[in-house]
Chains A and B, each alone.
Chain A
Amino acid sequence: MTRVGLFIPCYVDQFYPQVGIATLQLLEKLGCEVFFPMQQTCCGQPMANSGYEHLGAGCNENFVKDFASFDYIVCPSGSCTLHVKDHLHSARDEHAASQIRSRIYELSEFLTDVLKVEQLEARFPYRVGLHQSCHGQRGLMMSQMTELVAAPFSKPVQLLKLVEGLELVALNRKDECCGFGGTFCVTEEAVSVKMGKDRVADHEQQGVAYIAGADMSCLMHMEGILRRKGSAVKVIHIAEILNSVIDEPAN
């Protein structure tokens, strides 16, 4: 059995527990032995992207202690995964840190690349737009990017296609940033909000019921904009869709 350490990012833990639950249940359904280290907190990205990477040692050492023993570390967030992959270091045990860097996977890439999932018992009969988050897409290369001349592929799309009843729409700008950007969303409020509004509008024009994504942070930003304007469009993490067996996803 594959021993998986489950990394639930801090903001998912605090604001979107249903995403953690769906991730856990999904991995177990697919035959993994999942462990959730109770002492985990945050990968340190909020500090690092703001220029304070040097303050991240505490988070790093924590992370190494929590996750050093697993075959794989799986996280339902491309952004946090990328941060660990690129920036996790340890003064105490750099060997363990380097092992973690090479063993951490974002959930959907873990499903496609490691578990090689080819069928799912999931049903989600809605019109869905997929938001391809930048860090997952361009950082972890979870899908072909519009800037590059390369063969098309998308790991999240590959998985969503296994879901019964799901109707995936084509967006006008398939991999444009939503404008969340960590602390950017507050330090550059005007541009961040405008980017979010534009991103949401692209989905709305396609008549989606849900905006799905592999990063709850982007979805949190777009959710804030959708709710402020009173839109009926909802956001949903891909784990919730892939784990859904009933018509309505858990709220």
Chain B
Amino acid sequence: MNQRIKDHPDLAEKFNADEARVNWHDETLWWIRQKRDKAAWLLPEWEQLRETASLIKHNVLSNLSEYLLQFEQKARENGIVVHWAADGDEHNRIVHSILKQHGITQIVKSKSMLTEECHLNHYLADNGVDVVDTDLGERIVQLAKEPPSHIVLPCIHWKKEEIGELFHEHLGTPKGNADPQFLTHAARLSLRKNFLERKVALTGVNFAVAETGEFVVCTNEGNADMGAHLSDVHIACMGIEKLIPQRKHLGVFLRLLTRSATGQPITTYSSHFAKPRKGQEMHIVLVDNGRSAHLGKESFRNALKCIRCGACMNTCPVYRRSGGHSYHNAVAGPIGSILAPNFDMRANADLPFASTLCGSCSNVCPVKIDIHNQLYQWRQVLVKEGFTPRAKTAAMKAMAVTLANPGMYKIAGKMGRIAMRAVPGLVNNKFNPWYNQREMPVPPKESFKEWYQKNRKS
């Protein structure tokens, strides 16, 4: 996995070294955003659905402990083994302990951003367990030894020619064959073997229903079902915020999820798991990992409504031009930028600044998270907590003093404009990040205020 070595601006700059790739990345994601728009417009009640979903999640977050206990009780009655994990390490240990009980060293796993967040694959690899990711995109980034760059489209940054090379190397496909259908078939054959051989399947959870103790897993490839149905042991891992109160609420979320994610009316497979089939063991691991603390932060609580559709990434003009890895976090993009500082403020202090605050993310969000407002709020928190370069703080203080003082402002403005005209090299140099790729504005001889003084003020 890529270790974070630099901040978002540096990683984004690296991504931008290849402009053709940035164009392609941007256009691909914009195409998905447009598919989302078309799907949304087909439902006249779209905005009402978003509001309803937001309110249901509001109810969940306000009563989370009760819903969790209800879910636990119902799931146990259904014969599911329920585990609680306070953090990522405990989650990883629980999963590993289940495998150890069965003497298992090989598992299949369908997509779960929670396990990415907990770095489960690494933990299991370190403990001698081989994990095969069965979602095609996840499999590709796994073979490439990379983390996913997008929560719904994990390898959206890979071109088919590159995948052809990767498969040639790992799956023995003919060199130079980049036909998507052929490559998908090769992956399918390889994964089929894994599905048939491996006795334990791990899946994520999209929605868990408190009322019934069941959970729903949504995939487009049916890989979660292949794993779960062929396995002796099914382990499902979920963040505690994935709950919804009742089964009837599913309709709201299933209609929103995939329309927002890919523009499909519904996921190809929305599979309900209520209890283990005869002879099978079913476990569910409920993971906190910072969520309770997050719930306690009033300004940021809404972020826990997220259903992981990825719409905010597809629409984000910054994400489209900086790539998922520039966010150095399991969940990238706008939503990742407001979730990540909850886990580690220091490591993720750069992320809330990786936005123009354009607000498009909040508008596409199917559960109406006020993402751009939270980005703004996070900036205030991070500065107050001291996670800003001293030079920036000093510059801001100087600016605040100048701008608050009409006399100083007038003099500074005039001097600045004179200097820009007389000694353009003062600002038109390589130390000015505006000037590197843009011309500076041409300073006028007089400001509006000076004009007004001369022409209107008598």
Contacts and interface: CB of A to CB of B under 8 A. Distances in A.
A134 B361 CA distance: 12
Contact of B318 (A10, A180, A191, A224): A191
Nearest to B315: A147
Given A44-B403, A149-B41, A190-B16, A180 B356 contact: yes
A190 B245 CA distance: 45
B358 interface: yes
A41 B407 CA distance: 9
Given A138-B359, A191-B16, A40 B406 contact: yes
A177 interface: yes
A67 to B, nearest CB: 14
Contacts of B12: 188, 190-191
A186 interface: yes
A202 B208 CA distance: 44
A19 B288 CA distance: 53
A156 B265 CA distance: 35
B193 interface: no
Nearest to A176: B317
B321 to A, nearest CB: 5
Size bracket of the B interface: 35 or more
B349 to A, nearest CB: 10
A126 to B, nearest CB: 21
Interface string A45-81: 0111111111111110110000000000000000000
Contact of B396 (A24, A52, A176, A227): A52
A42 B433 contact: no
Contacts of A185: 434
A195 B321 contact: yes
B297 interface: no
Interface string B445-458: 01111111100110
Interface of B: 8-9, 12-13, 15-16, 19, 22, 26, 30, 37, 40-41, 43-44, 46-47, 315, 317-318, 321-322, 353-360, 362-364, 376, 379-380, 382-384, 388, 392-393, 396-397, 399-401, 403-406, 409, 413, 416-417, 433-434, 436-444, 446-453, 456-457
Given A50-B383, A54-B383, A191-B12, 17 more contacts: A8-B448, A14-B443, A16-B444, A41-B405, A42-B403, A57-B404, A134-B357, A149-B41, A175-B360, A181-B358, A186-B434, A189-B9, A190-B12, A190-B13, A194-B19, A194-B22, A195-B356
CB-CB nearest 7 A-B residue pairs: A58-B404, A181-B356, A224-B438, A20-B448, A51-B383, A51-B379, A147-B363
